[in-house]
Chain A
Amino acid sequence: MVKKYEITNRIRELRFFAEEMTQQELARRAGVSRQTIIAVEAGKYAPSLEMAFRIADVFGVAITEVFACKVSEIEGKKG
């Protein structure tokens, strides 16, 4: 059995609670492109720690409030 780590996020929810902050506004404040925010929000891109901290900083919450790691076990050989 191999552990599979999947990064999940609550960006959409946090944007909603931040007075429906737009992806463009979040991107601007985090210093990244809107395309990246779209990809991160959709779970298509796992950001670096620095970017994750920047996004969390925009919402004024801890990084764990924004990102979480879902661990699941899948069959297969290690490596």
Chain B
Amino acid sequence: MSYQEKRTIVNILSGVPVLIAYGIYVFIRTRSGSVEPNDLRFWGITMLTFIGIGVASGIILQILFHIGLSISIAIKTGDGKEREVERDIEATIVEDEMDKLIELKSLKLGFSITGTGFVIALIYLAFSGSAAGMLNIMFFSFGIGSISEGFLSLRYYRKGLKNG
């Protein structure tokens, strides 16, 4: 498995648990009746907290991944060859036009899902849905869009981009 695929998996792994944790937390809180459906302050704080957790966990996982990668390259290359290790690391983490194209195509899917989620949220509001419901639909559409981006990137790395 290539560096790019591993990096994408790490991205997915940092996003999925946070979205699931948010879903469970919200489910428990609303089920217990401790949250007013239209207490927007609660939803704002909760979403901001989970976004923060998501960003922080993503950064930490990426740092750990890159440390692990560097160690594995150093072990493979052998001791006492610092320059070769550095060269191998640089050669591994290089980002080229194919990566950028895959990122662009995946982002397009992410935006489509997020945009669709936004429209669904507006329709929900138009049919007298609550503001909290609308916020949650948008939050989940952002999360699902981001995760889908990762899966599509993985697919492109596996199957390739036939048309360049």
Contacts and interface: CB of A to CB of B under 8 A. Distances in A.
B2 A35 contact: yes
Contacts of B94: 27, 31-33
Q: Name the interface size band of chain B.
A: 20 to 34
B42 interface: no
B87 A45 contact: no
Interface stretch (A36-44, A56-64, A70-78): A36-44
B161 interface: yes
Interface stretch (B60-68, B95-103, B130-138): B95-103
A14 interface: no
A10 interface: no
Contact of A27 (B5, B91, B97, B164): B91
B148 interface: no
B160 A33 contact: no
B162 interface: yes
Contacts, number: 62
Contacts of A43: 160
Nearest to A30: B96
Contacts of B4: 33, 35
Contacts of A45: 98, 160-162, 164
Contacts of A31: 94, 96
A46 B4 CA distance: 18
Interface in B110-164: 157, 159-164
A32 B98 contact: yes
Interface of A: 7, 24, 27-28, 31-36, 38-39, 42-48, 50-51
The 8 closest A-B pairs by CB, nearest first: A44-B160, A46-B164, A35-B2, A32-B96, A28-B91, A36-B98, A39-B160, A33-B94
19 contacts: A24-B91, A27-B94, A31-B94, A32-B96, A33-B2, A33-B95, A33-B98, A35-B5, A35-B157, A36-B97, A36-B98, A36-B99, A44-B159, A44-B161, A45-B161, A46-B163, A46-B164, A48-B164, A51-B96
